Amino acid sequence: MSVCKEKMIIGFIGTGVMGRSMAANLLKSDYKVMVYNRTKAKAEELIKQGAIWKDTVAEIARETNVTITMVGYPKDVEEVYFGEGGIIQNAKAGSYLIDMTTSSPKLAQKIYEAAKAKGLHALDAPVSGGDVGAREAKLSIMVGGESAAFETIRPIFEAMGKNIVLQGGSGAGQYTKMCNQIAIASNMIGVCEAMAYAKKAGLNPQNVLKSIESGAAGSWSLSNLAPRMLSGDFEPGFYIKHFIKDIRIALESAKEMGLKTPGLELALSLYEELAQKGEENSGTQALFKYYICD
């Protein structure tokens, strides 16, 4: 079942690096969007573009029929959905709740069950593609939940991303995002070591990239983040502190399943070391600093 765009009022909670661009693309697609962020200044750009500011999460939930959350950590998700004045308590029956934060699969299932008990439709829909994908509306969106709710919300997803897949029931989107983060974690080590090796060998790393990025070594990180590393651009498309959070969730899930993930454990140790040195607010490509210090 689809709902016409004119009847959809979207509440967007969390207007950070990713959320800001995602909400902007909803506005560009002519959706009515209400926004809330703990720091209002981070929403000012969206307000200038036509978004309507609301002072509380409760207001967002009460005045919309689709609520999207893109916050930092599972504890933030828990608070936004279950805290006093939270979404579950205030959303209108029949509303759609979409958590696009990378969070715990178990928490996604908890939200789904609580929402269902109140006549609400919940989807977990974490994304991949970084700041560039968010700006260009080319995110990969991994969805968990009921197929009917997914089909209703699909046009909203299409305003923010290109590769949109319903992976299964509640929690499936978060489990899929963990697969994504596991693949990235070890790959980032390889990308950094390859670029460090090229520099130590006296090669021009930019020329090396031209030779290897279109072959078997190719990856999104190699093509998009290696050039940033080499130019000394460590601004966050995705924060190290958030990647550490994701890796910990993945490790916890893997442990529950009895799966060994030594590559993931190594990546966590390297990123934690960087965070301890003050790099927690740098982008994940700052792992390069572990190998080469200018």
Q: Which residues contact 56 (CB under 8 A, 6 or more apart)?
A: 36, 85
Calpha distance 166→32 (Å, rounded):
25
Question: What single letter denotes the amino acid at residue 168?
Answer: G
Calpha distance 150→213 (Å, rounded):
35
Region of 78 (left: φ > 0; alpha: ψ -120 to 50; beta: rest) is alpha
Decide: 171 and 109 in contact? Cβ < 8 Å: yes
Give the β-pairing of 66-69 and 52-53. Answer: unpaired
Q: What angle do CA 187, 193, 225 make, to 5 degrees?
A: 55
Calpha distance 64→294 (Å, rounded):
50
What's the 3-state SS for 188-220? Answer: HHHHHHHHHHHHHCCCCHHHHHHHHCCCCCCCH
SS3 142: strand
Catalytic residue among 177, 210, 260, 289: 177
SS3 28: helix
Backbone phi, then psi, for 88, in 5-degree steps? -55, -40
CA-closest candidate to residue 33, choices 43, 42, 94, 152 = 43
Residue 177 annotated as catalytic: yes
Catalytically active residues, by annotation: 177
